[in-house]
Amino acid sequence: MHIAAILGKKTPNAARNWMKALRGLMKFCVEAELIEGHPTEGIKRARTPKTGGFHTWTEPEIAKYEARHPIGTCERLGEALLLYTALGRSDIVRFGPQHVQGSRIELRKTARLTGKTLRIAIHPALAEVIAGTPCNHLTFLVTAYEKPLTAPGFGNWFRECCDAAGLPHCTAHGLRKAMFRRIAKAGGSVHHLKGVGGHASLSELQVYTEDAYQARLAQDAMDLVARAFPDKPGTQTG
């Protein structure tokens, strides 16, 4: 009863995390014969609403950010690196001039299971931003003390950049999703997305592309119908 009362005061996500931790602790206590019975048995996990994850930036939001942070600023460079590489923040903070090899980027990912070397063609817009932003360090983005940013530090800094542009609901991860949306809407396959993002499996990309693919496939379907059945309203012959 006490556990149920505690969990009932928390949000669904927090309640699920607490339950997971408590069940592990209670299992240890039972096995160590510190308690009799499992006090979390019979308590159902809280259902968490499906939200679709981080907000995916729209094109007007990207334009609004870029209007606030012009080329030449670190704020614009950070946005361009996220958008045109689709790298996560742990890789963005390591990214520097030495990773630019001719017309492409070569960078080994830090991900635990997908630590592979990515080779990504440099988008013309990214090349323009890099060329227009001074950099005298081994990483493109540094702190005010000219030290490399940490991943959490980058997240906090970019949060402030978005707030300054009047985009409090936008995040670094949401900008990465915007690139996957662009690829999907441009007609790219999940294999194109995997090539850019370096994901371990195609299923990981579904959360990024479901909406984009749904809209494109629906449009393709209606185009097929329009070509196969060009009849105008009221002219159908059966």
Per-residue pLDDT of the chain (238 residues; tens, 9 = 90+): 566 666 666 666 566 676 777 777 777 777 777 777 767 666 766 564 555 578 989 999 999 999 999 999 999 999 999 999 888 888 889 889 998 888 888 888 765 545 577 788 889 999 999 999 998 888 999 888 888 899 999 999 999 999 999 999 999 989 988 988 888 888 777 767 766 766 555 565 666 666 666 777 777 788 888 888 877 655 555 4
Predicted local confidence at residue 60, as pLDDT: 97
Long-range contacts of 145-150 (CB under 8 A, 24+ apart): 148/93, 148/94, 149/93, 150/93
Q: Which CATH superfamily is domain 59-218 in?
A: Intergrase catalytic core (1.10.443.10)
Outline where DSSP puts E strands in 90-172.
Answer: 100-101, 104-108, 117-121
How far is the CA of 224 from the CAs of 71, 78, 217, 219, in angstroms?
A: 43, 41, 10, 9
Q: Is the pTM of this model over 0.85?
A: no
Predicted local confidence at residue 2, as pLDDT: 65
Predicted local confidence at residue 210, as pLDDT: 67
The answer to whether 172 touches 154, Cβ cutoff 8 Å, is yes
The answer to whether 107 touches 87, Cβ cutoff 8 Å, is yes
> What token pair was written down for 222?
């209606």
Can you tell me which residue has the tokens 């159908």?
A: 236
Which helix (DSSP H) or strand (DSSP E) does residue 185 occupy? helix 172-185
Rg, C-alpha atoms of the chain? 24
> What token pair was written down for 179?
């690139």
The answer to whether 90 touches 110, Cβ cutoff 8 Å, is yes
Q: Which sequence spans correspond to the domains of the chain? A: 1-49, 59-218
Please name the residues in contact with 85: beta carbons below 8 A apart, sequence gap of 6 or more. 92, 95, 105, 120, 126, 179, 196
